[in-house]
Structure formats: structure tokens, C-alpha cells
Amino acid sequence: MLSARTAAASPAASLWKRGDGAGGRGDRCTSCLEVRRRAAAVTVRAAQPKRVEAVAMESAAETAEAEKEVAAEKEVAAAGGGVEDKYGEDRATEELPVTPWAFSVASGYTLLRDPHHNKGLAFTEREWDAHYLRGLLPPGVVSQDLQVKKIMHNLRQYKVPLQRYVAMMDLQERNERLFYKLLTDNVEELLPVVYTPTVGEACQKYGSIFRRPQGLYVSLRDKGKVIDVLRNWPERNTQVIVVTDGERILGLGDLGCQGMGIPVGKLSLYTALGGVRPSACLPITIDVGTNNEQLLNDEFYIGLRQRRATGEEYHELMEEFMDAVKQIYGEKVLIQFEDFANHNAFDLLAKYSKSHLVFNDDIQGTASVVLAGLLSSLKVVGGTLAEHTYLFLGAGEAGTGIAELIALEISKQTNAPIEECRKKVFLVDSKGLIVSSRKNSLQPFKTSWAHEREPVTTLLDAIKSIRPTVLIGTSGVGRAFTKEVIEAMASFNERPVIFSLSNPTSHSECTAEEAYKWTKGRAVFASGSPFDPVEYDGKIHVPGQANNAYIFPGFGLGVVISGAIRVHEDMLLAASETLAAQATKENFDKGSIFPPFTNIRKISALIAASVAAKAYELGLATRLPRPRDLEKYAESCMYTPVYRSYR
């Protein structure tokens, strides 16, 4: 098929028609310029829409139709319907007919294998004829809702979670809109499949289940050519990149190149929960080798078979990567660091936060959602944030990140110096309570938490010494909150706050059942991985999940719609406060301090609006003028996975 781009470049472009092979008109001749004009009609910008140049029309009816489309384009642009919405993915373009445009108009067999535009059995009979599909599909036409119902029925037949994960990934690769429709309509049931805990097992077995590559792989072999690797990605309107080096995947350790499951899973949630369109998302894995002997000896391992590079070699590759991203996509692309080991995570965030738009979900995203949970829990236990005492088991990325954000929020509420606010927070690592006498042997990111206290070596002793009101686990050590630990918390707290945050479920410091049972149903509990409701003494307790998915999708959307060029800590605090405000008395009565995930799209829009508002307030936003109603603007920019009608 002659592409519209090729035809437009030829001298006879204005005369090019699709005829009937005998010099006649065929069905309905459409000029190449008309095809290109209609394709451009769905590219909507938040700024003043460009004038659509007049093209030759074949009849008065076509002229009227074109005028309606131009009017619709202006209406959508005025509503703030997205930025560079090439595929017509935002909510504001939902009612507009679009052209399945690639390098040429996708049709026939090619259309059925294009995940951006494939609708499977939902193509209408009119679309069969318009896009050469007649005979390529069975004659039955079904709705998208019926397709969702069928796939959910099939998924529920699988008894093994990994089988569901593979089935979901297969669907994403063949029908993108159906995948996201399925996920958004069944978010509470499917979130554990595409994200934690199942994604952890998927990463462990990624080499065995690998089918079709998703995202980009940047390895040591690409050193000096990283920019060429990025240029191989077909999309140029990338707005969010999630990147990992696979060294600390969840609580599972070094999974090397097979950590790609994490960026893929995170970005599917950016789209399903936060409305960042899939064409704007790019998952990347930096492969510098692995120290996992089991993987190095695994015949199905898909990464470099060498020990992990460190030091100068590692940082040179990362610097080349960061420079290449900025050169290709500019400085308004959000780069989310994911599952880097402590020794690199803090260094990378500190190094690039001043020159790039970077965000570390393990340090900042986890902190934001946990702070939201703590703010919400105050409505149950009473008091202010500053009146409570916090004890952490685990002093890595998550633990120190949460601790710092708690201190920042206390400082904001009380106007006290941040150094004073940190004294309300205590951390226990593998060697015991972090105290000033250990300062010389501590890693730099731990020194802020070395307080003047007597050293103790066990968590139980730390609890007895400090008498905290809040106990938070980020250690990655399963069942570290023993019966003695939980009972000690309950002995001097009427409503002990216990957050068991380590992922996956097997690494959780305690289960929901243990927390409720050992506190006689008095615990205010939240976990990182999902737990089923627990019945204790005749009452059903629904444990809250302090899941980063509450925060990062809406946070990313807010950064995108504001055109922010840097991430500021106040933007994280704004996201936390907004999420905390969404928890209701109905949630508290059930024992949960977080709102249900069924409302996550609305919550993400609210978070996006608050994050964007803070970016404008701080002078970090570049998308001007500022929309009058940021919440409505955020909603209009959100990807909607309903099928579009094709011309």
C-alpha cells in the first residue's frame, strides 16, 4: 500500500487518488492530503490550536463535515484535551472519530496486528469495509464490555497467578485498549496480577516467559551508542520513563536484566490508574550484569552473563544514558528510578535531581503513600503528626525516605527546624538502633537519624526503650514483627499503628491476621502487599494497602500536565495530603485507612491537580497559561481505553 507520506512528497501529490484500477473513482476517492488532514485532526494541543488549512473538497457535504471536525478540534483544545495526543487517547477526544494512522493508514491484516488500533471482534461491519477487514474476522460483532467479561471469565480459570500475568501481557501485546479497559474496570482484582506480588515471580522467571520485547534494553555493550538505542524507540512524544538496573527488585534481590517486569508493570499502572497515555510511556532496563549466580547459570537468562559492573564503569554508562534522554526527549520527560540498590539509588537521585526531572519511587513514592496513611490514621488514633513517635525496622531507601518526609511534614505543620523534627523518628537496621555512637560507621544517608540514645541491638528492646506509637517495617525480612513485638506495641498503645510494608507478601514483616490477633483487634494496620479481610471477635477488618500505586500514577500525570522541569519535596507532600483527604469514615469503620482502589482514577486526577498546582506555585511549571480548573484539565488529559470509531 502506498503510504500517505510517500504520496505527499511526490509531484503529483495533489492528484493522487485511490481509484478502481480503470481510471474511475472507485468507491469514495480520498486525496492523500485529506487523509493527512484528518489524521492531524486528532493531534490536540493545550495551546492555541493551529489553523487547519483548506483543502479541496469533493462536495459541499464533505466541506460541512470538515468544518464540524475543525470545530470539534477547537472545542477539545479549549477543554485542554491532552498534549500531543497523536492517537486520540485522552478523555476529551473520546467522542471524535479518528484515523488508525501509522506510516500509512493501518488496514486489513496489519490493522489486526497493531495493538494501538486493534479491536478484535469489536470492529463494526462498516469498519470491515472501510479497512479491508471483511473475511479476516468471524461475522459476529461484540462490544468491548463483552470482551472484558469473556477475558475475566478466562483469567479466573487460572489457578496459578503467573498464568494470569502471562495472559495479561499477551493481551497487552495484541489489543492495548482492551488490556487497559480490563485493568481499569477490575483494578482491585487485577492489580496483584500486573503488580506486586505476582510481578516479583514474573521477574524471577522472566527469561522463561519472555515472548515479545517491551521497552528498551541499554547494556554495557551499548556504551558510546546509548543515544542510538533511544532513537530506535518509535515514539517521540515520550513523557514518562521508568528505568531500573535490576539490582534490588522488590525484596527479591539482584535479578539483572529480568527486572524489566518492574518498569513494564509500573507504566501499565501509570496508564490504567493515572491516565498517562501508553504511547507516552517508555520502560527501560540498564543491564550492567548480575551477581545472581542462579541467573548466570540459567540457560534461559536473557541478560549479560557477567558480574555486575560497579564504580566508574557503571556511572559512565548511567551518565551517558541520562544525557541521551535529555537530548532526545528534552528536560520535561519524567525519569523514574525503580529498584536500584541503596548505594546507587541515593547517589543517582542526589546527582540528577538538580539537572533532570527525576523521581525515585522507592525513596519518594513509598514515602508519600506512607505519609498519607499516617495522616489518615490520625483520624482514628487522634493527635497530630508531631505528637507521635515513629520507629522503623529497616533503614534503606524506603525507611529513610519515609522518615525524611515525615520530618518534613512535621516541620511544615509546626514551623520547627527539620533537625528537631527528625528526633521524633528512630530507625533500626541490621546492627540495631541507629544512635550517635555509631555515626562513624554509618552510611551517609543514615547519619541524620543517629540520635543521642543508649545503643540496643534488637527491635524488641528498641520498642521497650522508645515506646513508639507507630511501628513501620521496611526491612524486607519476613515475619520480623513477632508476637512479642506486636504485643509490646499493644501494651502501651490503645490503637497501635503497625505498617508492614515489605514486598512481596512472603517478605512482609507480619500478616494482617497476626497484627489484628495479637493486638486483640485494636491495630491500625497497613501493608505493602495485599492481604484478605480478617475476622476477629465477630468484626471484619479490611487491611489497608500502602501501595505506591496510589501516588505515582497521579503524581506523574500532574508533572506531565504542568510541564514541570523538576520534582520538589513540596509536590510529594501535596500528593500525600490529597490522598489522605480521600479516606472516609466508611473506610475507617472497616479498618482501612486508605480509600478503595475502585476510585483510583478520580483520586489520581485530584493528586495530579494538587501536584500541578504546587509546581505552578513553585515556578517549576512550563505549560502556560495555567489552566483555570486543574482538576478538570487533568481529567481531560487522562487516557481512556474505550474503543474509538474508525473512519
Active site residues: 195, 266
- Whether the ω angle into residue 625 lies within 30 degrees of 0, i.e. cis, is yes
Using CA atoms, how far residue 275 sits from 548, 556, 620, in Å, is: 16, 9, 22
In 125-239 the beta strands, taken as DSSP E runs, fall at 216-219
Report the distance separating Cα 243 and Cα 333, nearest Å.
12
Using CA atoms, how far residue 350 sits from 201, 353, 355, 529, 569, in Å, is: 31, 6, 10, 28, 13
SS3 269: helix
Say if residue 362 carries a ligand binding annotation.
Answer: yes
Q: What b-and-e string marks burial along 291-324, b requiring 16 or more CB atoms within 10 Å of the CB?
A: ebeebbeeeebbbbeeebbeeeebeebbebbbeb
Collect all residues with Cβ–Cβ distance below 8 Å to 439 and sequence separation of at least 6: 447, 450
Say if residue 292 carries a ligand binding annotation.
Answer: no
Q: Measuring CA to CA, which residue among 26, 205, 27 is closest to residue 126? A: 27
What values do phi and psi take at 94, rounded to 5?
A: -60, -35
Q: What's the grid cell of residue 193?
A: 496480577
In 363-412 the beta strands, taken as DSSP E runs, fall at 390-393
In 351-436 the beta strands, taken as DSSP E runs, fall at 358-360, 390-393, 425-429, 432-433
Report the distance separating Cα 226 and Cα 284, nearest Å.
12
Say if residue 247 carries a ligand binding annotation.
Answer: no
Report the distance separating Cα 344 and Cα 464, nearest Å.
34
Q: Measuring CA to CA, which residue among 474, 496, 476, 608 is closest to residue 546? A: 474
Say if residue 547 carries a ligand binding annotation.
Answer: yes
Q: What's the grid cell of residue 374?
A: 499516617
Report the distance separating Cα 304 and Cα 313, nearest Å.
15
Report the distance separating Cα 399 and Cα 143, nearest Å.
47
Say if residue 297 carries a ligand binding annotation.
Answer: no
Q: Measuring CA to CA, which residue among 93, 166, 7, 28 is closest to residue 639? A: 93
Residues 524/495, Cβ–Cβ less than 8 Å: yes
Q: Terminal CA-to-CA distance of the chain, rounded, Å? A: 18
Using CA atoms, how far residue 225 sits from 230, 234, 243, in Å, is: 9, 17, 18
Report the distance separating Cα 331 and Cα 343, nearest Å.
25
Using CA atoms, how far residue 175 sits from 114, 119, 199, in Å, is: 8, 7, 20
What is the amino acid identity at position 359?
Answer: F
Taking each continuous run of H as one helix and of E as one strand, the counts in the chain are 27, 14
SS3 444: helix
Say if residue 338 carries a ligand binding annotation.
Answer: yes
Annotated binding residues for a divalent metal cation, written as ranges, equal 338-339, 362
Annotated binding residues, written as ranges, equal 248, 338-339, 362, 503, 547
